[in-house]
Amino acid sequence: MPKFMKSIQIPMVLNAPAPIDNNVIIYGNESGINQASVGGNKNLDLAGDIVNFSFSDISPIFIGKSQPNLSIGEINIEILTPFNNLLTTISIGDSLNNSRLFDIGSNDPNSVGKYSCNSDYRYTVETDIYLYINGVNTSGNGTVEIYFE
């Protein structure tokens, strides 16, 4: 099932289904809607992914593994609560180039807003992709949306 569906049908079960690595399983029963999740190595699929981040997260923040010959397309960083250190920077890239996909000049962590770029970068081998937050803060959070072509 694609990750960017507008609506989903929630199955009614008594116990949580077994979750898949780094996926959240949402299920319902007579006591309401619940979820189960488990950690692991997350491979980015053909649709894309959404990652939440906060000032308290330890940088770099693992977003996922790019698959060989999968082109990274549009990336959105949305700042929901501004970071309070004026020197804070946010970038997205890999361990060799921390801003390969989204550089620090293309977003403002100190302002609420949605910042977009189209990196159009293609990794030739499986590569870990990270969100880098530099700066000491006591507030700030947002989301990253990453799409593939």
Q: What is the pLDDT of residues 35-74, one digit of tens each?
A: 444 444 454 444 567 889 999 999 999 988 887 887 888 9
Both structure tokens of 5:
């569906």
* Contact by Cβ (8 Å): 135, 31: no
Nearest to 21 by CA among 57, 65, 61, 60: 65
Residues 107, 112, 118, 123: what is their CA dihedral angle, to the nearest 10 degrees? 70
CA separation for the pair 134, 104 (Å, rounded)? 10
Residues 15, 4, 53, 44: what is their CA dihedral angle, to the nearest 10 degrees? 90
pLDDT of residue 38: 40
Give 12's pLDDT tier (boundaries 50, 70, 90): low
CA separation for the pair 128, 112 (Å, rounded)? 28
**β partners of residue 12:** 28
Say which residue, 86 or 119, is predicted with more confidence: 86
pTM: 0.69
Nearest to 47 by CA among 114, 94, 102, 1: 1
Domains of the chain, first to last: 1-40 (no CATH), 48-148 (2.60.120)
